[in-house]
Every structure is written in C-alpha cells, then in structure tokens.
C-alpha cells in the first residue's frame, strides 16, 4: 500500500471501529486502505495511552486540587479577616 499520512482523527476512528468488535482487522484494512500491521500498531498505541491516562493520574489531580484548595482557603481567610475588622469598626460607631 502506498505511504499516506493519517490524521489523528482518522487513526482514532480506525481504532474505535476495531475496538467495537463488529469487523475484523482485515475487513477494516481493506475498507480503509490501511495495512493490518498499521492498525495493530495504532491499537497498541491507543491502549498504551489509555493505560497511561490512569496511571498516577490521581496524584496529579489530587495535587492540582490541593493547590486550588489552598488558594481558596487563603482567600476565605483574608475575607474572614476583613469581615472581623469591619465588625469591630461598626461596633465602635
């Protein structure tokens, strides 16, 4: 088969079609003009990406959440100080 540059969307569609299980690799390769080996390579890349998406992701998400939580807690603390100061000022008058 002649060399062709496949877009990420085209690769994704081929892999999704394969993972649905309705067609064999050889059927998809004939319909799409892609070699069987290339489809298997794309499938393997997609499965590795899926595996990587779930490895350690919780730590990154937790770290991002922790940073956001700390930022919001500082804002709340500052606002609480302002409120207390305003209460004291209003009690003086």
CB burial of residue 46 (10 Å; 0-12, 13-18, 19+): middle
CA-based torsion, 32, 36, 12, 21: positive or negative: positive
Instruction: Pick the range with the lowest mean pLDDT from 14-18, 45-49, 58-62, 78-82.
Output: 58-62
Predicted confidence (pLDDT) at residue 58 exceeds the cutoff of 60: no
* E-assigned strand segments in the chain: none
Q: How confident is the model at residue 54 (pLDDT cuts 50, 70, 90)?
A: confident
pLDDT of residue 64: 67
Task: Write the pLDDT tens digit of every residue in 2-45.
Answer: 678 899 999 999 999 999 988 999 999 999 999 999 999 999 99
Q: How confident is the model at residue 57 (pLDDT cuts 50, 70, 90)?
A: low
């Amino acid at each position: 088969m002649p060399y062709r540059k496949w877009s990420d969307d085209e690769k994704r569609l081929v892999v999704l079609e394969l993972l649905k299980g309705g067609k064999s690799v050889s059927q998809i390769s004939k319909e799409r003009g892609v070699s069987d080996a290339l489809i298997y390579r794309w499938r393997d890349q997609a499965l590795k990406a899926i595996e990587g998406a779930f490895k350690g992701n919780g730590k990154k998400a937790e770290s991002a959440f922790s940073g956001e939580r700390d930022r919001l807690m500082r804002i709340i603390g500052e606002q609480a100080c302002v409120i207390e100061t305003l209460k004291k000022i209003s009690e003086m008058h």
